[in-house]
Amino acid sequence: MEYFKDDSTRFQQNNEYLINPNPKNELLKSRKIRIGILASGNGSNFESLVKASISSSISADISVLIVNNPKAKVIDRAIRLNIPYRIINHNEFNSREEHESLIIETFNQFNIDLVVMAGWMRIVTDILINTYNNRLLNIHPSLLPSFKGIRSIERAFNSKIKITGCTVHMVRQEIDSGPILIQAAVPILEKDTLEVLTKRIHFYEHIILVKGVQIAIDKFL
């Protein structure tokens, strides 16, 4: 029942990335791409990217993790996997813009080329979006454009639909709305509990996030 849909060709046909080409493109040919991760919680998507990098399923290094929540479990994963991390707590800043400015400064220290929001529970502003133009990805646990926003799995589960899924997309100003790189369709079975469905969606998230990151690297960096 499940399938993956790589939507990046349509994105390419729109020539959207050609209008704003990445100026680092030439430079990147001479060295390995460096990914920065933004995460707020559990970190299973972060871990799947780290393992994909270690096994060369993506041609990039996971160079740093930035966390906004000092209690996030993802920090334990970063320690276990030996990935540098920085806690940049949004509560210590007066505005989203100030918070994001320090995030960008930190990514710059690590020469980050591509940023992945892997469970980043913050609305992002133009500052981050424009700095990483077409180089800022998000993973969302629904078949976008359905069930944008929070509690997407729960809302899909409580609806009458039979298929939900997950999506990797470029980040734009409107929440959960940017060009889609890849999606997985995931069935909602009659005997499912919310917990079982959540686990099934996470399983597919880990697969499409790795594929989506490689699509972004191949086509847009």
Rounded to the nearest 5°, which phi and psi values hold at 166?
-150, 160
Spatial separation of the C-alpha atoms in residues 61 and 33, rounded to whole Å: 6
- Residue 118 in contact with ligand GRF, rule: CB under 6 A: yes
Per-residue contact flags (x/-) with ligand GRF for residues 120 to 139, judged by CB under 6 A: -------------------x
Give the nearest residue (CB) to ligand GRF. Answer: 119
Beta-ladder partners of 87: 67
63 binds ligand GRF (CB under 6 A): no
Q: Is 43 in the site for ligand GRF (CB under 6 A)?
A: yes
Give the DSSP letter string of 54-85. HTTSSSEEEEEEEES-TT-THHHHHHHHT--E
Q: Is 165 in the site for ligand GRF (CB under 6 A)?
A: no
Among residues 17 and 132, whose Cβ is nearest to ligand GRF? 132
Packing angle, helices 74-81 and 44-54, rounded to 10: 20
Contact 168, 119 (CB under 8 A): no
Active-site residue, selected from the candidate residues 90, 99, 140, 202: 140
CB of 209 to ligand GRF, least distance (A): 8
**Which of 36, 141, 178, 212 touches ligand GRF (CB under 6 A)?**
141
Q: Considering only residues 175-214, where is the footprint of ligand GRF by CB under 6 A?
A: 205
State yes or no: residue 45 binds ligand GRF (CB under 6 A): yes
Candidate segments 9-17, 39-47, 80-88, 104-112, binder of ligand GRF by CB under 6 A: 39-47
In the chain, alpha helices (H): 8-13, 16-19, 25-28, 44-54, 74-81, 96-109, 126-131, 152-158, 194-220
- Within 71-100, the residues that bind ligand GRF by CB under 6 A are none
Question: b/e for 75-112, b at 16 or more Cβ within 10 A?
Answer: bebbeebebebbebebeebeeeeebbbebbeebeebeb
Please say if 140 is a catalytic residue: yes
Least separation in angstroms between residue 107's CB and ligand GRF is 19
In degrees and rounded to multiples of 5, residue 172 shows phi and psi of -125, 175
Just list the catalytic residues.
Answer: 140
Residues that bind ligand GRF in the complex, under the rule CB under 6 A: 39, 41-46, 118-119, 139-141, 205
